[in-house]
Structure 1
């Protein structure tokens, strides 16, 4: 090859690197926007709709490792489209299914870009943490009416940040909280005070959301994270560090909550919300009664009854993701969603403790998916944007693991040195 022939290749490489860097920055900005959903369509939808389209037009590929996620989520939304045929008045039903389809595409998109480069995981979680700290701070300041008009960041005397609902706001803060906890336990001690302060803001936001699901998700999530880290680390000194720092963080969080409970308004609402079963849960046609009636009714409705129809038949919506899958997506949607969720949990569990550059992010996302599956028994999560990010992270990391195994096998068969996973 002559020097003139080689020149275009040298020019093209920096251009490609620039496009990849710009694309990653745009993804990080999209994740950041997910923390601000006061009205719909939110800036997140508009930004990600354009971004997903551009990436796929420019050649982003879906590998055979992430194809099952695509198939299951498409089947889930086909079930939603079929449920529209059962509605007498379509109303907002088509838009609901369109949003579901869009969110499914974002999960596939995140899986694909993570498989393309595991370095994007750090960008995603850093952007998520920044958005969480800002929206949590807005919720805390709004709760205490720190400035005129701050009440826009609260609902029913509960912090909601830049969200429409405290029950979404609280769980949104949990994965970045786990990310900060992990950073404190394994990162540089000099940066720990900054991360601890950010974690304190998130913990206060979770607490003031007065969401029982968020409280459980936060506490159990941190316990699971510490347990998994102790399983993974074999060094006695490192395990001791994890235990000491964990104990210090718990003491700090408990002390902060004790201070918050000194405010009569906070204490009164905490006492009311801390009851395991509220009146609207156990009363006639309450949450649990609706679950029983709804599941019985759906045994005779294979195509479902259509999105948002359940709430017109009963005092409130389903507040159960499994029942929501049946009513709004039919039997096809229910089976697809359960299969996708079980497969996601299996993939994460299988790769949970392997020493890879992407392992911390997989651990956090897997705990997040597991926790959201649990709280899905008492709340609808099928339209929560951050849940689809978690799905994408788990599947993207699973695809990275498959590529890593295939690379090792090829190196072994050809007797050549293997490139470290961190370099790919």
Structure 2
């Protein structure tokens, strides 16, 4: 290397590091904006659209490890575009498909930037937790009418924060809740009180959303987290610490629930929402009846019926991601989505317990994907921003693992050759 090239490299490295730092900060701000979705397109879409454009211009690389995610999500949205041909009046359907396509690109984007540097993962999850605490506080303050106009953060006497729907608000809070629980269990005890206080805010937000899906997701997520950590950690002392802290957290959350139920308004709504099957689930043309009719109808509609059409034919929308995939994205979208989801779960499970710097984030995201797949049976999640972030994290971490394996395999011959030279010199 010449002196000129060496000087240029020394100059370029700080510039590259600065650009990388700015880019990571912009990503964190984008994740933060995902907690404030009052309407579509939301500020999140506008910010991320600009960020994606800039990053692609600067040379964002899609590796062969994340290419399958790109192919499957694009096929999913091609199915949505084909379903538009079945509609007589397009209305807002093209915008719906455009948002779907854009959200798919955000999953690819997250996977690519995580593959490039795993150090972005703590920044992403910290930004998510910060946004979750703020939007949860808005929902709590709105529920208790803490200031004039606070009711804008509620819907049907349920907290919804800065979201359109309590059923999206509640699940959005769950992955950062799991992140905080993990931090309490393995982190520094000095930071534990702050994380515990933030976790209480999120738990209260989830509770006041009165979303049965969010309640189940919250409980399932924490149970799976503790189970995975007990499987991974071999130290008896550390396992005992996890069990003791988990028991303390459960007791604290139970005490908080008891206090909350002392309010008559909360107690009455909780009693109504705690029923596993609501009247609108089991009645004629209720949720389950619509599912049965919808699946039967879609067997004769390979291209679907178009986005948002189902809700005009029945009292409500599909409220089932599998049926939604069929109606709004056709058979092509349905098969693509099922394949992508199963592949995502497989990738996460295969790498779940490996000792890597990115393992905690992969574990949290994988639990989130698994939980959202479960609640997808009773709710539509195809436009949930944070779900695509979870997909991106799992695929990005899986790509990191593949790169780690490849680099390790490349180093082994060099190590062997160096050992042979050393023995020859002796």
TM-score range, shorter-chain basis?
Answer: over 0.9
Q: Aligned equivalents of 2:91 and 2:421: distance in 1? A: 63
Structure 1 residues 298 and 188: CA distance shift in structure 2, 3 A: same
Check if 1:407 corresponds to 2:417: no
Equivalence for 2:79: 79
Check the 8 A contact 2:160/2:209 in 1, yes or no.
yes
Contact 2:107–2:388 (8 Å) recurs in 1: yes
The answer to whether the 8 Å contact 2:173/2:206 transfers is: yes
> How many Å separate the matches in 2 of 1:415 and 1:406?
22
Name the SS for the 2:106 alignment partner.
Answer: helix
1:216-257 CA distances to partner (integer Å, 9 max, x unpaired)? Answer: 000011000000000000000000000000011111111011
Query: Are residues 413 and 25 of structure 1, via their aligned partners in 2, closer, same or farther at CA, if it must alter by over 3 Å?
Result: farther
For residue 190 of structure 1, give the secondary structure of its aligned residue in structure 2: coil
Q: Indicate how the Cα distance of structure 1 residues 415 and 241 shifts in structure 2: closer, same or farther if over 3 A, else same.
A: farther
| Contact preservation (8 Å) 2:143, 2:153 | yes
Distance apart, 1:259 and its partner CA: 0.4
Cα deviation code 1:306-336 (max 9, x no counterpart): 0000000000000000000000000000000
Query: What per-residue deviation string (whole Å, max 9, x for no partner) do you get for residues 19-57 of structure 1?
Result: 000000000000000001112221100000000111011
Cα distance, 1:423 vs structure 2: 31
Residue deviations 1:62-103 (CA, integer Å, cap 9, x gap)? 000000000000000000000000001111111110000000
* 1:423 to 1:330, Cα distance in 2 relative to 1, 3 A: farther
Structure 1 length normalisation: TM-score?
A: 0.96
Give the direction of change, closer, same or farther, for the CA distance of 1:73–1:415 in structure 2 (3 Å limit). Answer: farther
1:322-369 superposed Cα distances (whole Å, 9 cap, x missing partner): 000000000000000000000000000000000000000000000000
Question: Structure 1 residues 302, 2: closer, same or farther in 2, change over 3 A?
Answer: closer
State the 1:117 CA deviation: 0.2
Aligned partner of 2:425 in structure 1 is 423
TM-score normalised by structure 2 residue count: 0.96
The question of whether the paired residues in 1 share the 8 Å contact of 2:302 and 2:331 is answered with yes
How far does residue 408 in structure 1 lie from its aligned partner after superposition? 3.6
1:126-162: CA deviation from partner (whole Å, max 9, x where unpaired): 0000000000011011101111111111000000001
Note the aligned Cα RMSD (angstroms). Answer: 3.1
Shift of the alpha carbon at 1:3? 3.0
* CA spacing shift, 1:290–1:5, aligned 2, 3 Å: closer
SS in 2 for 1:415: helix
Partner Cα separation in structure 2 for residue 139 and residue 408 of structure 1: 51
Give the Cα separation in 2 of the matches to 1:42 and 1:329.
22
Structure-2 change in CA distance of 1:144 and 1:423 (3 Å)? farther
SS in 2 for 1:189: coil
User: C-alpha separation between the residues in 2 aligned to 1:335 and 1:2?
Assistant: 55
- Gaps in structure 2 of 5+ consecutive residues: 412-417
Aligned-partner Cα distance in 2 for 1:121–1:13: 22
Structure 1 counterpart SS, 2:191: helix
What is the CA distance between 1:407 and its match in structure 2? 3.2
1:6: how far off?
2.2
* Cα distance change of structure 1 residues 413 and 181 upon mapping to structure 2, 3 Å threshold: farther
In structure 2, relative to structure 1, the CA distance for the partners of 1:3 and 1:384 (3 Å cut) is: same
Task: Give the number of aligned pairs.
Answer: 418
How far apart are the structure 2 equivalents of 1:246 and 1:56?
43
Structure-2 separation of matches of 1:190 and 1:369: 31
Match of 1:164, SS state, is coil
1:15-94 correspondence runs (5 A): 15-94=15-94
Tell me, which stretches of 5 or more residues in structure 1 are unaligned? 417-421
CA distance in 1, matches of 2:409, 2:226: 30
Aligned partners of 2:140 and 2:159 also within 8 Å: yes
Q: Residues 113 and 396 of structure 2 are in contact (CA less than 8 Å); yes or no, is this contact kept in structure 1?
A: yes
CA contact 2:41–2:99 (8 Å) conserved in 1: no
Q: Which residue of 2 aligns with 1:221?
A: 221
